[in-house]
Structure 1
């Protein structure tokens, strides 16, 4: 089969992809191609691996059998433009990497690592031994973490927080859905219990997808409910939290601090129209919490396995759009979560 790999990050794992598919296929690495070259080549492609596909290219790809998204979100794939026989599959494996980033961020904010680092780089020792006015840092044992969304990322966050002695509570769309047996949350409620979770948590971690129901979910009232000692960590999507409301809450002391790995715009634009970079109580990272070798090595292995399954005629994993039966029209899946335009 001819496979087009159009993903800058996953291309760094091309040896694993080719080895896992036993070198049987013709691979085209197109992440740095100009649009015209890609459009010309895609007509002869059987499998497209990438997170974005233009509608005109999807319509031209009459030979295409599989679009394999490099991540969980498929909002960059024009489902309606694909031919009926095309399968669309996704891959995950980001939960543990993001959860470790969350735990790191909470520790950094709890110990004011950023402030201590800035001071020492400027030649000043900044600790309670030399400055009795400084507040003490806090440990995590016994602190309450509220997780908004309890899917792959949310449950991994809960697992690591639980391991260091934090008490977990969560809200999710379906509170009756099963969760891993090793987790021992204080409680799991529906989204209607969000105000209770915010008021009852020392740390709030946002992991929900961005959709019509979650856009602007955390605003002035929700931030005020958290209280002046609380921390917010957003690893979901920037617009789940209201931009101006968060800036005001951080600059006024409504909440103690925030770790932001997701923003309201993507490269090459600035992450926000507001000067979050001027606030000393904000940890800023460039949407890279899931960018570990472990995440993408596992994704490469799973994508290669699905390509092998396609070649053998076996059922594929993580299918979000099945091919239509002969003579019928493919049914589009529910609208996916929207994403800011950069790789995840």
Structure 2
């Protein structure tokens, strides 16, 4: 079952690559009832969200393949023990290009210049001697919070244009690509150093209890008035009110926000970020390129082929326990014969 609106646009190459006797259900536009009715017979589920009540009834499920790196939309505890959960990535290069673009736009104040020219006003340093100059990126310093796939790709592009790179990560001793030459990589305890030493701070960490609200009033003050914040991680990693006030008051110079504190159909924030001239707003699309999703479709298809052949899968975040699964599946199939509303197998 394919239940993902974006990946559905790549369903033909996905199906063609996953050779074999497979019946594909394109469920991205199905309602919840239709999905729930089909799931008990599904062996592979491809998507980013799955309801717990549906997961409990998916007795034949073998693989949940998440379309992306985060699997917080999958109820792991509701899946039977034999289900393997895998993820896919490939978004790093696309997000890194977005970060570089955003840093350039903020450094050159492209938003203001474009908006004023649309209104018929020529405004540059040649006609307005009071207008501040923009600045190049070369020789400035970028601080990256998180140094996984996205963080390392950001570092690669930044160092290519002459930015100095430093980063903090949970494990500062973990290896990183040999072509990267960061000034330093520190643990979480070096976040204050990164904030005070960086002209541009890029947030790439996943959202967790440890990172929720990580950037607040004290951290924004430490960055300084000329600094820029780029958030391509999750909105709640940065404290909403604190960031708005820092931008409004000039505590920091500007921000590029691709992630927010709420989503459609609600506004991205309850605060009027759209009224601030020093904010670049994008709708969580920094990784939405054909390159990202073509590579994801290929990797997911290859994992399905590996599953069929009994080969090890890649990017597994939860391995299925086949021995426990056999006992659970028999119980679940017997339970499915009961009238609707009957009790679930013990412990599920």
- Partners of 1:213 and 1:64 lie apart in 2 by 32
Across the aligned residues of Structure 1 and Structure 2, the Cα RMSD in angstroms comes to 1.2
1 CA distance for matches of 2:179 and 2:21? 41
Q: 1:142 to 1:72 in 2, by over 3 A?
A: same
Tell me the residue number matched to 1:326.
323
Taking the aligned partners of 1:266 and 1:284, their CA distance within structure 2 comes to 13
Q: How is 1:274-313 mapped onto 2 (pairs within 5 angstroms)?
A: 274-313=271-310
Among 86, 90, 94, the residue aligned to 1:97: 94
Instruction: State TM-score, norm by structure 1.
Output: 0.93
Q: Which residue of structure 2 aligns with residue 334 of structure 1?
A: none
**Mapping of residues 72-87 of structure 1, within 5 Å:** 72-87=69-84
Please give the residue correspondences for 1:190-339 in structure 2 after superposition, counting only pairs within 5 Å. Answer: 190-327=187-324
Provide structure 2 residue ranges, at least 5 long, that are not aligned to the other structure.
328-348
Structure having the higher Rg: 2
How far 1:19 sits from its partner (Å)?
1.2
The structure 2 residue matched to 1:42, chosen from 36, 39, 57, is 39
Which has the larger displacement, 73-82 or 319-328? 319-328
Cα deviation, residue 329, structure 1: 10
Post-superposition CA distance 1:76-102 (Å, at most 9, x none): 111111111111100000000000000
SS in structure 2 of the partner of residue 146 of structure 1: strand
Q: Deviations over 1:17-60 (max 9, x none)?
A: 01111363111011111111111111111100000001111111
Q: Corresponding residue for 2:141?
A: 144
CA distance in structure 1 between the aligned counterparts of 2:311 and 2:193, rounded to whole angstroms: 46
- 1:205 is paired with a residue of what secondary structure? strand
Higher helix fraction: Structure 1 or Structure 2?
2
Spell out, residue by residue over 1:82-136, the C-alpha distance to the aligned partner (whole angstroms, 9 max, x if none): 1111111000000000000000000000001100010000000011111111111
Unaligned runs of 5+ in 1: 331-344
1:59-208 equivalence runs, <5 A: 59-208=56-205
Is the alpha carbon distance of 1:198 and 1:329 closer, same or farther for their aligned partners in structure 2, counting shifts above 3 Å?
Answer: farther
Count matched residues.
Answer: 327
